[in-house]
């Protein structure tokens, strides 16, 4: 039974992924909820049915009073027994059945699936965003929005059908019912409705922003607390416990103040509502009694009118809450949209084909990229790398080495110029085919929070266990992997590495990342400080492995420790986003420029290049 409702809509229904989702709230909501349209119609219909049954019940209460008065004790059952029996049957069977359908449509079909479709599609969209896009935001905030927006959208839709449709149907029905009993009875209710509408408007206008302010203030508390916890090392190191506490308290106090303001408004709302409802009860019931006295209404009408307004009385607070909740949730969705509905800035061109790599020649042609800042990054840089050539990239910090690599991987599109592989502009081929052909080990080799095996197989998921272990051996990782054990007792290749690999040392992380790339065996190899976290002994032996891995590949290796790249075919020296020197190790030393200066500063302290091989 539940399963039937839960499967009414498939939240993973295939859909045409949109590179630029609608930026306005309604079109955005409409585009995500297309698969739900039929369900929405059924939910609305069932909510109206529930309201009609409630009203019928109240109207029937009036009729029962009239029947009791008219038939008297003795004749009631003989005259109206069948009718009362049918009414009882309807209350016992029909009403619960309609209610059950309504509840299951909302609770089991709508709520879980609507949230899921939002979460799934938002995550699918965000995952397609470029690396540059992620660099401009906090991963935590993005994840938060992916988590908060879906339930808010689900709850907003729930309120529409659970409270809003139901109460609109109920109030309209109540007006009709009172109007039918005596048109004059509808007047006080209509007047009340106008005043109630005014109060609702006030609530939405004033309480909405106040709630948002207090929820923002709460997020600020979370932000500050998380910042302190995640930088706990610095906090302890600088002994800034009290400063952090004061920093947190400021946000906590601000959250209290905004909450105080919000709650004051809620109190005003509650008091006004009670006052308004008093007017409703006295207006409608008083008028009904006056009509009864004048002989134009029966006792049943007075009873039904009383029941109707008392029920309405108890509903008004709930409707008000539902409405303000509805608008609050819409607020959360539109805030979430700022993140999850951003157009993709880096997409595959329409009709882009795969990269056809036969030799592995790389060319940067007049490439400039300043990260939209007008300075920094790369400045009209040109570089040609022959197939199979091994290039060492050096230069002071901030020279643009990593930027060059990011452009080769198309993590960013260059602001001008282009990057080519085997004569094909990498902006014109699919991103996945491009990155499949490039293996990269970087400085901050971050691992996924999964097992060691999963992390190595990330390079080639279909690889056999034997090949995976072989790759680990070549990366000098096999021996230490066998000694690993995580908190849950899993050992060796099954041990979990912890978030971003924090449970491993920097050198261990780098070796696992290296194993992953060895397994991937891509024809272009990029090493960005690939061995920087290793001690000299391990580095020397991995360096030997790396030379083996490099065989037959085009290689671009960035290193601060020059001894690790001195053996390369050619060394390219960068400064301020440009290439300032280019040649073999010996030629550059002979030239006596920047490279020679860097070399002479380092060669005293580290392995000599000729010994490293």
Ligand X SMILES: Nc1ncnc2c1ncn2[C@@H]1O[C@H](COP(=O)(O)OP(=O)(O)OP(=O)(O)O)[C@@H](O)[C@H]1O
Binding site for ligand X (CB under 6 A): 135, 371, 376-377, 395, 397-403
CB-wise, 211 or 563, nearer to ligand X? 563
Pairing label, strands 524-528, 554-558: parallel
Half-sphere exposure of 48 (CA within 13 A, CB side): 9
Distance CA 38, CA 9 (A): 9
Give the closest residue to 170 by CA, choosing from 193, 198, 187, 195: 193
CB-wise, 370 or 490, nearer to ligand X? 370
The least distance separating ligand X from the CB of residue 593, rounded to whole angstroms, comes to 17
Neighbours of 289 (CB within 10 A): 15
The size of the chain, in residues, is: 613
The least distance separating ligand X from the CB of residue 408, rounded to whole angstroms, comes to 12
In contact, 493 and 446? CB cutoff 8 Å: no
Neighbours of 155 (CB within 10 A): 22
DSSP string, 196-237: HHHHHHHIIIIIHHHHHHHHHHHHHHHHHHHHHHHTHHHHHH
Distance CA 435, CA 148 (A): 32
In contact, 402 and 453? CB cutoff 8 Å: no
The least distance separating ligand X from the CB of residue 228, rounded to whole angstroms, comes to 25
CB-wise, 73 or 373, nearer to ligand X? 373
Distance CA 387, CA 227 (A): 46
Strands across the sheet containing 416-421: 378-385, 362-369, 416-421, 424-425
CB-wise, 35 or 132, nearer to ligand X? 132
CB-wise, 259 or 371, nearer to ligand X? 371
Half-sphere exposure of 571 (CA within 13 A, CB side): 27
The least distance separating ligand X from the CB of residue 353, rounded to whole angstroms, comes to 29
The sign of the dihedral angle between the CA atoms of 105, 111, 114, 117 is: negative
Instruction: Scan for tokens 């266990």, then name that residue.
Output: 465
The least distance separating ligand X from the CB of residue 559, rounded to whole angstroms, comes to 9
Q: What share of the chain is helix, strand, coil (3-state, %, to 5)?
A: 65, 10, 25
The least distance separating ligand X from the CB of residue 452, rounded to whole angstroms, comes to 27
CB-wise, 385 or 472, nearer to ligand X? 385
The least distance separating ligand X from the CB of residue 223, rounded to whole angstroms, comes to 21
Distance CA 342, CA 126 (A): 8
Give the closest residue to 48 by CA, choosing from 177, 164, 190, 158: 164
CB-wise, 400 or 459, nearer to ligand X? 400
DSSP character for 403? Answer: H
3-state secondary structure of 311: helix
3-state secondary structure of 383: strand
Distance CA 525, CA 557 (A): 8
CB-wise, 120 or 134, nearer to ligand X? 134
The least distance separating ligand X from the CB of residue 374, rounded to whole angstroms, comes to 11
The least distance separating ligand X from the CB of residue 532, rounded to whole angstroms, comes to 10
The least distance separating ligand X from the CB of residue 262, rounded to whole angstroms, comes to 38
Helix (H) or strand (E) run with residue 441 in it? strand 438-441
3-state secondary structure of 162: helix
Provide the b/e sequence for 484-521 (b: ≥16 CB within 10 Å): beeeeeeeebbbbbeeebebbeebbbbbbbbbbbbbbe
CA distance to 17, 29, 129, 340, per residue, from 125 (Å):
8, 15, 7, 7
> 439 φ, ψ to 5°?
-105, 140
The least distance separating ligand X from the CB of residue 599, rounded to whole angstroms, comes to 16
CB-wise, 337 or 534, nearer to ligand X? 534
CB-wise, 139 or 466, nearer to ligand X? 139
CB-wise, 401 or 474, nearer to ligand X? 401
CA distance to 11, 122, 157, 162, 608, per residue, from 112 (Å):
9, 16, 12, 15, 63
The least distance separating ligand X from the CB of residue 377, rounded to whole angstroms, comes to 4
Give the closest residue to 122 by CA, choosing from 344, 337, 432, 345: 337
């Amino acid at each position: 039974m539940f399963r039937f409702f839960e499967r009414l809509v498939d939240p993973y229904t295939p859909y045409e992924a949109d590179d630029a989702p609608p930026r306005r709230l309604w079109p955005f909501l409409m585009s995500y909820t297309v698969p739900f349209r039929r369900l929405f119609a059924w939910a609305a219909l069932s909510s109206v049915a529930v309201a009609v049954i409630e009203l019928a019940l109240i109207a029937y209460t009036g009729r029962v009073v009239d029947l009791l008065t008219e038939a008297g004790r003795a004749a009631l059952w003989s005259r109206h027994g069948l009718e009362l029996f049918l009414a009882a049957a309807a209350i016992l069977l029909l009403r619960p059945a309609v209610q059950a359908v309504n509840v299951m449509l909302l609770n089991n079909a709508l709520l879980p699936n609507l949230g899921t479709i939002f979460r799934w599609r938002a995550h699918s969209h965000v995952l397609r965003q470029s690396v540059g896009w992620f660099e401009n935001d906090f991963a935590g905030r993005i994840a938060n929005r992916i988590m908060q927006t879906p339930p808010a959208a689900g709850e907003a839709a729930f309120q529409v059908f659970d409270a809003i449709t139901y109460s609109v149907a109920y109030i309209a029905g109540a007006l009709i019912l009172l109007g039918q009993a005596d048109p004059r009875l509808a007047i006080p209710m209509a007047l009340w409705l106008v005043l109630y509408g005014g109060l609702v408007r006030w609530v939405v206008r004033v309480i909405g922003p106040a709630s948002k302010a207090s929820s923002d203030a709460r997020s600020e508390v979370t932000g500050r607390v998380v910042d302190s916890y995640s930088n706990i090392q610095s906090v302890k190191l600088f002994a800034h416990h009290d400063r952090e506490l004061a920093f947190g308290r400021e946000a906590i106090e601000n959250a209290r103040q905004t909450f105080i303001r919000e709650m004051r408004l809620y109190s005003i709302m509650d008091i006004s509502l009670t006052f308004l409802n008093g007017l409703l009860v006295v207006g409608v019931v008083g008028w009904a009694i006056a009509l009864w006295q004048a002989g134009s209404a029966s006792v049943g009408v007075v009873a039904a009118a009383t029941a109707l307004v008392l029920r309405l009385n108890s509903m008004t607070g709930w409707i008000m809450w539902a409405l303000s909740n509805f608008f609050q949730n819409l607020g959360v969705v539109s805030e979430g949209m700022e993140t999850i509905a951003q157009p993709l800035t880096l997409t595959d061109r329409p009709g882009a084909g795969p990269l056809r790599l036969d030799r592995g020649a790389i060319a940067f042609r007049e490439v400039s990229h300043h990260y939209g800042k007008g300075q920094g990054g790369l400045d009209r840089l040109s570089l040609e790398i022959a197939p199979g050539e091994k290039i060492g990239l050096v230069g002071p910090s901030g020279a643009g080495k990593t930027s060059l690599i990011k452009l080769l991987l198309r993590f960013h599109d260059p602001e001008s110029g282009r990057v080519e592989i085997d004569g094909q502009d990498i902006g014109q081929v699919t991103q996945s085919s491009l990155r499949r052909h490039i293996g990269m080990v970087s400085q901050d080799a971050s691992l996924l929070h999964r097992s060691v095996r999963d992390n190595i197989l990330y390079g080639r998921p279909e690889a056999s266990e034997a090949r995976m272990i072989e790759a680990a051996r070549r990366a000098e990782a096999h021996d230490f992997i066998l000694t690993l054990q995580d908190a849950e007792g899993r050992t060796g290749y099954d041990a979990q590495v912890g978030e971003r690999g924090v449970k491993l040392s920097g050198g261990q992380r780098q070796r696992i990342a290296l194993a992953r790339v060895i397994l991937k065996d891509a024809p272009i190899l990029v090493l960005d400080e690939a061995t920087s976290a290793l001690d000299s002994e391990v580095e020397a032996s991995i360096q030997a492995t790396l030379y083996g891995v490099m065989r037959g590949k085009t290689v671009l290796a960035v290193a601060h420790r020059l001894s690790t790249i001195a053996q390369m075919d050619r060394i390219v020296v960068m400064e301020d986003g440009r290439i300032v020197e280019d040649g073999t190790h010996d030629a550059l030393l002979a030239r006596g420029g920047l490279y020679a200066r860097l070399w002479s500063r380092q060669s005293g302290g580290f392995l000599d290049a000729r010994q490293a091989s």
